[in-house]
Structure 1
């Protein structure tokens, strides 16, 4: 079970052992009932409380019956999580585990609960811009999933701004205001999504990477792992 959209990647795992790794995204580990997690190699009993892990922190994770959520650190949700972390690299939150039946059957409930925990609206995970120009832009980007990925050089901020009748600085401000994530990381997440979609539809790793604007499959693999701490293939396996 996998949720992958601009700014958030989330998956449920009955049992997970992730060896030592780090990633750009801010991480949330949230057990469902009877679940728990441990960081690194410790003899401590598994914790049943939700946990935040800061961006770029090297760690090892063992978890059972948990949701693992990775947030773009520049998004509204990622910034809220980073604010909660303060000077900590990781800490447990005093919240009860999620109800297992509800959370496994309804991932939207999990994201709603997480939004409440972070102090943001649920829309932070799936923003819908009020500005008609931005709605048209997002609709054009969505066509990548239907008609094939549009090369990222066609999505330069200055050129988009000109098409929308805006200055580049005004466009970047407007986009961040409405989409709750800056344009450049948003576009990178979209490119990673396009590459994943290409692999799902049977393209080779090289073709999927080139279509999404990566120099080769190794470049795609490095970028994906840097953001999420796992390979593209591992993520697609969880989506099945």
Structure 2
């Protein structure tokens, strides 16, 4: 029998839409630089810049915008027009102002579990943007704690679930990213529950764990309360 006392929720693409806006902005970026690079080549160069810059800028819109500007300078060999840079910055500003779109069953799942478990929001990214999204989501009052972290690792989960619960071994983490939400949580000794999203950032791809007793996959968040109940039985 499993005695789960704490449930962690990822935010972006688990509770609300996120990656769709990045992809729309990337399409806008490709259109701006269509005279300088094919869309597929531009995508590869941008992804390489994002990978390079994660350690400097972290996750989120601001780092994405800086990587787009860097890529624009590279593919134009320094000749990118100033108005194009301006439009890239404007695209990033639009992302930071985009209304929140809750995913199906997000509110219902958190509400159903908040009465019997400690529920904690654990998200990575830019502090101001994540705070904005949480405020606009209307879900903030449902969580017992909110943690906005620079990255998600086994050590981070061990620390957070010790701080807000009874340790990772008695906790469950729910999210759309195998790399960030599931695998490091399992490594910390907890349960990792994968709720796939139709869109996943290339840098978040990871292989599904095999023969892992503390791993589960759900079709959507409506299935989460029943899963938690079954694990407690």
Task: Please identify which structure carries the higher strand content.
Answer: 1
Same fold (TM over 0.5): no
TM-score range, shorter chain: under 0.3
Normalised by the length of structure 2, the TM-score is 0.27
Which structure is higher in helix share? 2
